[in-house]
Chain A
Amino acid sequence: MRAYWRSGELFVWTTAFGVAVGLLMIAGLLALIMIHGLGQFWPQTIEQVELDNGQVVIGQTVGRETIPRSVSQDQPKGLSRTRFRVGNRDVFGSDFRWVDEADIHARTTPKDVVIVERREWGPAYGRIHTIYDADQIYVEGQETRSALNSILVRGRELRKSIDHIERNEIGDINHQIEALRLKERSLALDGGPGSASTVPDPALQRRLAELEEEYRKRAARLEELYRQAAQYQVGLTISDDREIRIPLAQVIGISRPNDMGWGQKAFAYVGNLWGFLSGEPRESNTEGGIFPAIFGTVLLVFLMTIVVMPFGVMAAVYLREYAAQGMLVRIVRIAVNNLAGVPSIVFGVFGLGCFIYAAGGTIDRLFFPGALPNPTFGTGGILWASLTLALLTVPVVIVATEEGLSAVPREFREGSIGLGATRFETIWHVILPCALPGILTGLILAMARAAGEVAPLMLTGVVKLVPALPLDSAFPFLHLDRKFMHLGFHIYDVGFQSPNVEAAKPMVYMTTLTLIVVVVSLNLIAVVIRNRLRKRFATSAV
């Protein structure tokens, strides 16, 4: 026994066990997320179930369970029930319905059943028999299917024009009107009290009137488009034989999963996945895509990196290369290390107080007095959030950079100094390039930490839904004062704050998966760069 213990075999097994547990946990987590997340885009068969009492249920199976307390002597396995996603929330009041297996009379998968993706009220399940043109019947019966396609295309075009006018054209006009209004107010403020609005600038007024005229034109055009979009309606016969009319403008897509082959399904899968990644959220984030959140996350991490790298590296260079290594430096180093352990919400509170209220408030008073009392920078925004994250991650960068610097062989320093280089030249030309892999390790750790943080963001500018991305085509392109969406916050919001948590569950898994993928790919990029540099600056073995 003693010999066995001394051989260390047991120890090998114990250590391997530790690794195995870790791997299992990670693999299990990823598998869970991927199964629940990626499955939702596959077009699932729609079932039509006839119950003993004559009711018909049309929907997709979501889950099955044993009815609690149904296990008895004559029912050793108990009774089970199935959960269907039946959609038509506007009619039924809920997306889901439990059906006892015992009540089921017959199950079929008819090919003519469709799912209609709508802009509001979630999906609708049923059969399309009629298409209406205003109050008249446009087509009926067999021809609906071919007519539907052309109408859907027309609907999509209308939607595009509406979006363009609402977002870009009217958005631009609003932007200009707002700018003019601010200018007018600033002029009034400069003139001192009293002189304020007595003499309005005629040029300004003229321009304002022009813009308002423009706006009226656009609004009229918009109204016309909306009228056209509402003209055609899809008549959908739902499971209880009632007919609901869905205006074309509401329809995003119509699919018949029961009538699709594998190829078509795979095609639809890719389309759905792409729609999720590139689309905008709908229905208080429980449907649609998450593109603004992906964009916000990446931009946030990017801005944070730009801020944190120079500061962290400079601090580390001072601590390691210039400061006399005494008690004080040791205390500073301990303090920096401990800073990394401060709960992130504390940084959030600090960001709110220091950046938003103090710095942002001052900026507003100095540069945007016309907009007050509406804050410009004195409220949460991507700039303050990225600064807060930079503060949160600066210890990580400092520690990693210091390690990188101390790993540079003393011979390099002496070689450079011995050639008559100053300390600065030595650091700049020899030490920093050699420490670059270590610095990038710090960057990787900082990005991983920053991309996963949610708590400080909730205080410094993340929101549930943004009307516009922080980066767009309007001057000055990068709007640092804007609020933003974030994948981490999106998970919290959709999973725990949404009105329809059950329906949003796949979205939560998918958002989680996306966040993981984003963090991993950001890290991978940094790792690839680091490895290239490492090869270049590899220290010789001699």
Chain B
Amino acid sequence: MEHTLGLLQLGQRVLLPGTSATSRDLTAETHMLSQPELHTKVRVRNLDFFYGERQALFHVTLTIRANTVTAFIGPSGCGKSTLLRCLNRLNDLVDGATVKGRIELDGTDINGAGVDVNSLRKRVGMVFQKSNPFPKSIFENVAYGPRLHGFRNKRTLDELVQASLEGAGLWDEVKDRLTHSALGLSGGQQQRLCIARALAVQPDVILMDEPCSALDPIATAKIEELVFALKDKYTVVMVTHNMQQAARVSDQCGFFLMGELIEFGDTKSIFTTPQDKRTEDYITGRFG
């Protein structure tokens, strides 16, 4: 049963945005059916977060729509990464971390009782600041997640790996050396491999924690294009230090300062008519 389900999902996901007429039709159809523009994917309500005694987030409230790119900006240590890591409960790994408030994914409280944290992380994938491919082959890196979640069939895995690598725009570059070590790839390729790895478990939401901070401008541009394409099927939430990047790729934008969400709204309006003085100072480069 699970296999069939997986394949069905795969059937949808395999299709890259804008690769063929049929895929576009299918995507359009899905969009029409689910009214994605109106659909709320993640809702954060009054979130307080503590590292032991120290409070890192204060009363954060925001709503992220499905199939959009949301960017969190702000100076270092302002809590934007912490919020990101709350969304897939990666902060559970930190000793002494406590969460107050509510985070909903498709209407369900992710911190609620009865939520399987591993299934949650399967639905909310993550790409890290430092590209972190495992010291395995390229194929094994992408197949790692699906294997954990029960994919054993060689052919299904092969297809899934190819689809994921295509989804991350890496397939053409690595198709001849899938068995080579992932550590032999360039920095940008490694980061796209990490994206492919996240796509392979078929998530709904992809979190990206400063995905381009260690990359050169060309690799950065490729990732940005990719992020832009990904929002057709996924909801992307990214943290970035780069204001231009936020302006280029995001639909919504949140500005954080000292653990508080100062302003949240459409990227265009934030960058053109910020409501708060502090936001304006930050995006015009007067501090931070």
Say which one of A129-137, A345-353, A358-366, A416-424 lies at the interface with B: A416-424
Say which one of A249-257, A406-414, A460-468 lies at the interface with B: A406-414
Cβ of B90 < 8 Å from any Cβ of A?
A: yes
B121 touches A420 (CB 8 A): yes
Instruction: Count contacts on A: residues with CB < 8 A to the other chain.
Output: 26
Cβ of A268 < 8 Å from any Cβ of B?
A: no
Find A542's partner among B122, B134, B187 (CB 8 Å cutoff).
B187
Say which one of B7-15, B44-52, B102-110, B144-152 lies at the interface with A: B144-152
B 57-68 to A, binary, CB cutoff 8 A, 1 in contact else 0: 000000000000
Cβ of A138 < 8 Å from any Cβ of B?
A: no
Find B134's partner among A415, A417, A422, A425 (CB 8 Å cutoff).
A415
Chain B residue numbers with a CB within 8 Å of A536 are: 135, 181
Cβ of A324 < 8 Å from any Cβ of B?
A: yes
Known: A430-B134, A536-B135, A538-B183. A417 touches B90 (CB 8 A): yes
B190 touches A542 (CB 8 A): yes
In the bound complex, CA of A536 to CA of B197 (Å): 20
B 204-232 to A, binary, CB cutoff 8 A, 1 in contact else 0: 00000000001000000000000000000
- With both chains docked as a complex, state the minimum distance between the C-beta of A411 and any C-beta of chain B, in angstroms: 4
A419 and chain B: residue at smallest CB distance? B145
A419 touches B148 (CB 8 A): yes
Chain B residue numbers with a CB within 8 Å of A434 are: 135
Find B126's partner among A418, A433, A542 (CB 8 Å cutoff).
A418
B149 and chain A: residue at smallest CB distance? A420
Cβ of A108 < 8 Å from any Cβ of B?
A: no
A326 and chain B: residue at smallest CB distance? B95
A418 touches B144 (CB 8 A): no
B 100-127 to A, binary, CB cutoff 8 A, 1 in contact else 0: 0000000000000000001111100110
A415 touches B135 (CB 8 A): no
A536 and chain B: residue at smallest CB distance? B135
B128 touches A415 (CB 8 A): yes
A429 and chain B: residue at smallest CB distance? B144
In the bound complex, CA of A411 to CA of B135 (Å): 12
- With both chains docked as a complex, state the minimum distance between the C-beta of A435 and any C-beta of chain B, in angstroms: 11
- With both chains docked as a complex, state the minimum distance between the C-beta of A321 and any C-beta of chain B, in angstroms: 11
Chain B residue numbers with a CB within 8 Å of A416 are: 134, 144
Cβ of A539 < 8 Å from any Cβ of B?
A: yes
Instruction: Count contacts on B: residues with CB < 8 A to the other chain.
Output: 31
Chain A residue numbers with a CB within 8 Å of B119 are: 420
Known: A417-B93, A418-B121. A538 touches B132 (CB 8 A): no
Known: A411-B128, A425-B148, A542-B214. A420 touches B201 (CB 8 A): yes
- With both chains docked as a complex, state the minimum distance between the C-beta of B84 and any C-beta of chain A, in angstroms: 11
Chain A residue numbers with a CB within 8 Å of B259 are: none
In the bound complex, CA of A415 to CA of B207 (Å): 12
A411 touches B148 (CB 8 A): no
Cβ of A325 < 8 Å from any Cβ of B?
A: yes
B118 and chain A: residue at smallest CB distance? A420
Chain B residue numbers with a CB within 8 Å of A430 are: 134
A419 touches B88 (CB 8 A): no
B198 touches A411 (CB 8 A): no
Cβ of B130 < 8 Å from any Cβ of A?
A: yes
Cβ of A72 < 8 Å from any Cβ of B?
A: no
Cβ of B167 < 8 Å from any Cβ of A?
A: no
Cβ of B270 < 8 Å from any Cβ of A?
A: no
Cβ of B71 < 8 Å from any Cβ of A?
A: no
Which residues 487-542 of A sit at the B interface, judged by CB distance below 8 A? 536-540, 542
A422 touches B118 (CB 8 A): yes
A539 touches B95 (CB 8 A): no
Cβ of B194 < 8 Å from any Cβ of A?
A: yes
Find A325's partner among B93, B95, B134, B197 (CB 8 Å cutoff).
B95
Chain A residue numbers with a CB within 8 Å of B125 are: 418-419
Beyond A414-B126, A420-B122, 20 additional contacts (C-beta under 8 Å) are A325-B95, A409-B132, A415-B128, A416-B134, A417-B90, A417-B93, A417-B121, A418-B88, A418-B126, A419-B125, A419-B145, A420-B120, A420-B121, A420-B149, A421-B145, A429-B148, A430-B134, A434-B135, A537-B135, A540-B135
- Nearest first, the 3 closest Cβ-Cβ pairs linking A and B are A420-B122, A411-B132, A418-B126
What are 11 contact pairs spanning A and B, CB under 8 A? A325-B95, A414-B126, A414-B132, A415-B128, A415-B133, A418-B121, A418-B126, A419-B145, A420-B119, A542-B131, A542-B187
